[in-house]
């Protein structure tokens, strides 16, 4: 399903009003069931639902590799994904409890940092990254971000290696990242030498996602938060922000950049 | 508490590296208790916690007016707010159940639209708004948005009437709006002739918030989603997007703009 649709609207400029059709970002509800239990409804852009569901499970610590999923059924039109896990993770109940206090901006914070960050081991990677290449990756992602260009309302994220390997777009910053992580898992890629690119803010939750996936470097054209930087320092992740026009800021573990 | 802090970072540009101090947006966990039950942890910017908590309760349909709160205790340093409601709302249990499937980008969607949108009545307002003034409000808000200017990573929202009445900033788009709604309730303002301004995307959840508060017009410099437009059409809310440089697009109920 496409990430956008067309709608009629009235455009006002200098006291002139015209009726036009314009491209609008779609907002699509996707409900995920694990072992027949409803666990979450994500509001997302409707492309790459399979990648989103898998990435979400990794990010939440419910699976570690694609093989942990024994079957997956996608009902695209209805917005339903049913996943069966080879073994029911002991974390599922605590996930359901924890998410009573959940959202982005309605985040997990206190529970989250007590449970999650301490359960997560840091990323082990000795890979070095070339500064010049990082800037080029950001430019490439932004040039290719069709949804953002068309609607002005879609975040993008990508996986970088020798080149941009995969790219996702979503109205949700978290979803865009989960789609990249989901793709990486489905494709069984090695991640300790890869880069997670995103257009939006680097919050603590994005750092947890990268850590769970094992990606040592996060780069964005936007800003990181203080908590994201502190976590990245602890979890051995390099955070780069404000990557624009060949410049960027490194907020943690600069030793990886050459 | 301030919304930002300072951190040391490495700035790369044209193969030059310098160590600098820069302003960084803070990410602060705020846990809300109602009648001694923990109901949510919001990840937010640490200013205006009281407004945030009150606005959150309105947005979630747990209270309708400030008087519904019999007492409120804020422990700012610990990030805790304890609220006692005059009467326990019958919606509290369903709120807790519903939020098992909750987040922004991890939104409520299916449950949300079944429960929420149908429980919410549309906004009744016959007030007319001047197009020229709307553009000036947006410019004023953006000029005053200190946090965004300093850190590049903070959303802003405001309440407009004859002038900008109140302004909030937060790392979370939803929180910024909740702070404005919370302030309006605490100040017992009439809202059927007011404007909700925000810097970020207008998603369906923002439309529900405005409807619950009774604000007939939402204006943003960013894009709305298709679902937000459809809901706004039903709930009698005017949505304006891409308000920049004296131009804007009206997506629903244009009859209010003169």
pLDDT at A104: 38
Q: Residue B119's pLDDT band (boundaries 50, 70, 90)?
A: low
Locate the chain A residue with the closest alpha carbon to B13: A247
Q: Residue B58's pLDDT band (boundaries 50, 70, 90)?
A: very high
Average pLDDT value for residue range A40-52:
93
Mean pLDDT computed over every residue of chain B: 87
Report how far apart, in Å, the C-alpha atoms of B94 and of each of A12, A52, B22, B69, B101 are: 42, 27, 44, 19, 12
Q: Are strands B155-160 and B164-170 parallel, antiparallel or unpaired?
A: antiparallel
As a whole-number percent, the residues of chain A with pLDDT over 70 amount to 87
Query: In B, which residues are within 8 Å of A48 by CB distance?
Result: none
pLDDT at B91: 64
Q: Give CA–CA dist B63/B42, Å, rounded.
A: 18
Query: In B, which residues are within 8 Å of A79 by CB distance?
Result: 109-110
Higher pLDDT, B67 or A102: B67
Whether B168 is covered by a domain: the verdict is yes
Mutate to test the interface with B, among A15, A149, A202, A223 (most CBs of B within 10 A): A223
pLDDT at A235: 93
How close, in Å, is residue B47 to chain A by CA atoms?
14
Catalytic position from the list A44, A103, A104, A156: A104
Average pLDDT value for residue range B2-21:
90
Buried b (16+ CB within 10 A) or exposed e, A141-177: bbeebebbebbbbbbbbbbbeeebbbbbbbbbbbbbb
Domain of residue A197, CATH code: 3.40.140.10
Q: Residue A21's pLDDT band (boundaries 50, 70, 90)?
A: very high
Same domain for B94 and B196, yes or no, is: no
Same domain for B137 and B236, yes or no, is: yes
Domain of residue B69, CATH code: 3.10.20.10
Each residue's pLDDT tens digit, B72-111 = 999 999 999 999 998 766 666 666 655 433 333 333 333 3
Average pLDDT value for residue range A170-187:
95
Same domain for B86 and B154, yes or no, is: no
Whether A9 is covered by a domain: the verdict is no
pLDDT at B94: 63
Q: Please determine, for residue A105, whether its predicted confidence score (pLDDT) is greater than 70.
A: no
Question: Which of B119, B141, B166 delimits the end of a domain?
Answer: B119
Same domain for B112 and B215, yes or no, is: no
A window 86-145, beta carbon within 8 A of B: 96, 99-113, 131-132
Same domain for B73 and B166, yes or no, is: no
As a whole-number percent, the residues of chain B with pLDDT over 90 amount to 63
Whether B2 is covered by a domain: the verdict is no
Locate the chain A residue with the closest alpha carbon to B132: A15
> Would you call B41 and A109 a contact, using CB atoms and an 8 Å cutoff?
yes
Please name the member of B22, B174, B251 whose beta carbon is closest to the beta carbon of A249.
B22
Query: In B, which residues are within 8 Å of A7 by CB distance?
Result: 226, 229, 251
How close, in Å, is residue A188 to chain B by CA atoms?
25
B window 167-226, beta carbon within 8 A of A: 170-175, 201, 203-205, 222-226
pLDDT at A245: 86
Whether A50 is covered by a domain: the verdict is no
Q: Please determine, for residue A100, whether its predicted confidence score (pLDDT) is greater than 90.
A: no
Please name the member of A43, A101, A175 whose beta carbon is closest to the beta carbon of B40.
A101
pLDDT at B89: 65
Q: Report CA dihedral (B194, B198, B203, B205) to the nearest 10 degrees.
A: -60
The answer to whether the predicted template modeling score (pTM) of the entire model surpasses 0.80 is: yes
Same domain for B171 and B99, yes or no, is: no
> Would you call B43 and A105 a contact, using CB atoms and an 8 Å cutoff?
yes
> Would you call A22 and B249 a contact, using CB atoms and an 8 Å cutoff?
yes
Question: Which of B93, B119, B145 delimits the end of a domain?
Answer: B119
Q: Count the domains in chain B.
A: 2
Same domain for B61 and B89, yes or no, is: yes
pLDDT at B11: 93
How close, in Å, is residue A163 to chain B by CA atoms?
21
Please name the member of A41, A173, A204 whose beta carbon is closest to the beta carbon of B107.
A41
Same domain for B112 and B154, yes or no, is: no
Same domain for B85 and B114, yes or no, is: yes
pLDDT at A89: 65
pLDDT at B219: 97
Mean pLDDT computed over every residue of chain A: 87
Please name the member of A41, A173, A205 whose beta carbon is closest to the beta carbon of B110.
A41
Q: Report CA dihedral (B84, B90, B93, B99) to the nearest 10 degrees.
A: -90
Ranges A105-119, A187-201, B141-155, B189-203: which has the least confidence: A105-119
Locate the chain B residue with the closest alpha carbon to A13: B247
pLDDT at A145: 86
Q: Please determine, for residue A127, whether its predicted confidence score (pLDDT) is greater than 70.
A: yes
Query: In A, which residues are within 8 Å of B251 by CB distance?
Result: 7, 9, 24
Query: In B, which residues are within 8 Å of A170 by CB distance?
Result: 105
Q: Give CA–CA dist B154/B146, Å, rounded.
A: 9
Whether B126 is covered by a domain: the verdict is no
Q: Residue A154's pLDDT band (boundaries 50, 70, 90)?
A: confident
Mutate to test the interface with B, among A2, A10, A106 (most CBs of B within 10 A): A106
Active site residue A103: no
pLDDT at B72: 96
Whether A162 is covered by a domain: the verdict is yes
pLDDT at A67: 93
Average pLDDT value for residue range A77-86:
93
Q: Please determine, for residue A91, whether its predicted confidence score (pLDDT) is greater than 70.
A: no
Question: Which of B79, B98, B119 delimits the end of a domain?
Answer: B119
Nearest CA-CA partner of B56 in B205, B240, B171: B205
As a whole-number percent, the residues of chain A with pLDDT over 90 amount to 64
Average pLDDT value for residue range A222-243:
94
Whether B203 is covered by a domain: the verdict is yes
Please name the member of B110, B151, B205 whose beta carbon is closest to the beta carbon of A223.
B151
pLDDT at A66: 93
Residue B212, domain extent: 131-256
Same domain for B76 and B37, yes or no, is: yes
């Amino acid at each position: 399903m496409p990430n956008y649709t067309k709608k009629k609207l009235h455009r006002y400029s200098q006291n002139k009003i015209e009726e036009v059709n314009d491209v609008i970002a779609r907002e699509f509800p996707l409900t995920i069931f694990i072992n027949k239990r409803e666990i979450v409804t994500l509001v997302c852009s409707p492309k790459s639902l399979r990648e989103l569901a898998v990435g979400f499970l990794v990010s939440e610590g419910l699976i570690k590799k694609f093989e942990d999923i024994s079957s997956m059924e996608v009902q695209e039109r209805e917005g339903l994904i049913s996943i069966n896990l080879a073994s029911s993770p002991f974390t599922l109940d605590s996930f359901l409890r924890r998410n009573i206090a959940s959202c982005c901006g309605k985040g997990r914070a206190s529970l989250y940092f007590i449970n999650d960050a301490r359960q997560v081991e840091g990323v082990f990677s000795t890979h070095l990254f070339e500064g010049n290449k990082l800037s080029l990756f950001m430019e490439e992602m932004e040039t290719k971000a069709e949804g953002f260009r068309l609607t002005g309302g879609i975040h993008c994220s990508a996986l970088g290696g020798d080149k941009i390997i995969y790219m996702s777009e979503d109205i949700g910053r978290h979803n865009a990242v989960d789609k990249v992580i989901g793709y990486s898992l489905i494709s069984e890629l090695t991640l300790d030498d890869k880069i997670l690119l995103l257009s939006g803010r680097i919050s603590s939750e994005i750092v947890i996602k990268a850590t769970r996936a094992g990606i040592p470097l996060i780069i964005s054209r936007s800003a990181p938060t203080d908590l994201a930087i502190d976590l990245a320092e602890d979890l051995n992740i390099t955070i780069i922000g404000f990557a624009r026009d060949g410049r960027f800021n490194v907020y943690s573990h600069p030793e990886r950049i050459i």
